[in-house]
C-alpha cells in the first residue's frame, strides 16, 4: 500500500470481481440472441395466420326437364279459336260429332251464356255482328280465350245478296277486322245473314268460308226452351251444324238438357272448325260437317 492512500476494506476485491462476472455474463447473453429478437410476450392483438384450404368443386345435378302442360279437356280448342284445330283425341270423320252455333252476338246475354258453357265444358261457334263486337269487345275476347270459335255475321245483319258482291264482301271484311282487333283471331268464317248468299258473293269474298246450318232450332220465333231442345235432339245427325241465337235468353236455361241429350245419343260436341280434321277450305259454303256412321 502506498503512502497517503486510505486502507481498502477486505470485501472490496470480491465485490468488484462478482460485478465484473455478472456484467460479462449479460453481455454474452445479449450477443447470443438473434438479431431483432425480443423476450417480450407476443402482441395478443395480432391474429394467428389463416390457412386457406382449396375449395373442392361440387358436382351440380342438371336442371329438371320442364313438365309438359296438361292436355286440354275434350272439346277444347288449344289454338284459342283459330279455325282448323281439332278436338283432342276425337276424329269427327270416325265418330258422330255435332256443332252448336250462336248468331247475332255478342249480346248482353253472352256473359251468362259463357258461364253456362264453361260449367258444361262445351265449346261452340259464335257468328257475331261487327257492330256488337265493336260495342262489347271484351265479350268477344273472353269467348276466344275460353276456347270457342268465332266468325262474322255481317256488320248489321244485312242481306249479302241484296247488297251485291262488292258491298257484301266489304261488310264481311269490316266485321272480320273488328273480330281480329278484339281477340287477335283472324277468322275466315262467315255466316250470311238469313242464309242468303249466291255464287257471285262467295267468289267475291276471297279467303272466306261461308258456314250455313242443317238444324234450325227456331229459337228466335218460339223463345221456348223445351221446343228448342226437341228441335236439336230430333233433327241432329252426325256432322250437324245447329243454329241458335246469342240473343235468346231461353237457350241458356235449355243448354244443360240439350248437352245431356246429345251426349246420351252418342254425340261429341265440337266447334265448326273441329268438325274437320284439316282447316276448312276458303271459297266454299258448308251446311254440315263430314258424316260418320252412328254406333
DSSP assignment of 32-71: HSPTT---SPPPTTSPPPPPPPPPPPP-PPPPPPPPPPPP
231 in active site:
no
> Left, alpha or beta for 104 (phi > 0: left; psi -120 to 50: alpha)?
left
Only one residue has cell 255481317, namely 154
The single residue of 123, 245, 246, 251 carrying the catalytic annotation is 245
Q: Are 97 and 239 in contact (CB under 8 A)?
A: yes
b/e sequence 170-187, b meaning 16+ C-beta within 10 Å? ebbbebbebbeebbebeb
Is the bond leading into 106 cis (omega within 30 degrees of zero)? Answer: yes
Sequence-ordered strand ranges (E) for 35-148:
97-105, 125-128
103 in active site:
yes
Query: Which residues are catalytic, by number?
Result: 103, 245
Amino acid at each position: 500500500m502506498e503512502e497517503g492512500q486510505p486502507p481498502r476494506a477486505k470485501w472490496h476485491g470480491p465485490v468488484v470481481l462478482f460485478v465484473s462476472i455478472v456484467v460479462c455474463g449479460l453481455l454474452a447473453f445479449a450477443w447470443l440472441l438473434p438479431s431483432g429478437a425480443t423476450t417480450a410476450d407476443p402482441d395478443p392483438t395480432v391474429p394467428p395466420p389463416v390457412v386457406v384450404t382449396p375449395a373442392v368443386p361440387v358436382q351440380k345435378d342438371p336442371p329438371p326437364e320442364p313438365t309438359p302442360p296438361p292436355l286440354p279437356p275434350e272439346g277444347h280448342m288449344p289454338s284459342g279459336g283459330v279455325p282448323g284445330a281439332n278436338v283432342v283425341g276425337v276424329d269427327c270423320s270416325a265418330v258422330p260429332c255435332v256443332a252448336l252455333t250462336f248468331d247475332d252476338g255478342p249480346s248482353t246475354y253472352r256473359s251468362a251464356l259463357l258461364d253456362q258453357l264453361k260449367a258444361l265444358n262445351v265449346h261452340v261457334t259464335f257468328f257475331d255482328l261487327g257492330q256488337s263486337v265493336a260495342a262489347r269487345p271484351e265479350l268477344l275476347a273472353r269467348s276466344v280465350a275460353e276456347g270457342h270459335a268465332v266468325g262474322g255475321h255481317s256488320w248489321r245483319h244485312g242481306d249479302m245478296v241484296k247488297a251485291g258482291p262488292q258491298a257484301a264482301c266489304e261488310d264481311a271484311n269490316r266485321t272480320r277486322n273488328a273480330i281480329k282487333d278484339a281477340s287477335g283471331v283472324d277468322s275466315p268464317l262467315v255466316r250470311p245473314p238469313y242464309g242468303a248468299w249466291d255464287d257471285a258473293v262467295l267468289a267475291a269474298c276471297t279467303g272466306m268460308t261461308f258456314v250455313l246450318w242443317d238444324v234450325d232450332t227456331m229459337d228466335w220465333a218460339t223463345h221456348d226452351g223445351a221446343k228448342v231442345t226437341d228441335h236439336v235432339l230430333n233433327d241432329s245427325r252426325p256432322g250437324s251444324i245447329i243454329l241458335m241465337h246469342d240473343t235468346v235468353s231461353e237457350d241458356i236455361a235449355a243448354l244443360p238438357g240439350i248437352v245431356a241429350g246429345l251426349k246420351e245419343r252418342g254425340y261429341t260436341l265440337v266447334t265448326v272448325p273441329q268438325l274437320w280434321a284439316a282447316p276448312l277450305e276458303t271459297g266454299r259454303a258448308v251446311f254440315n260437317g263430314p258424316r260418320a256412321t252412328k254406333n
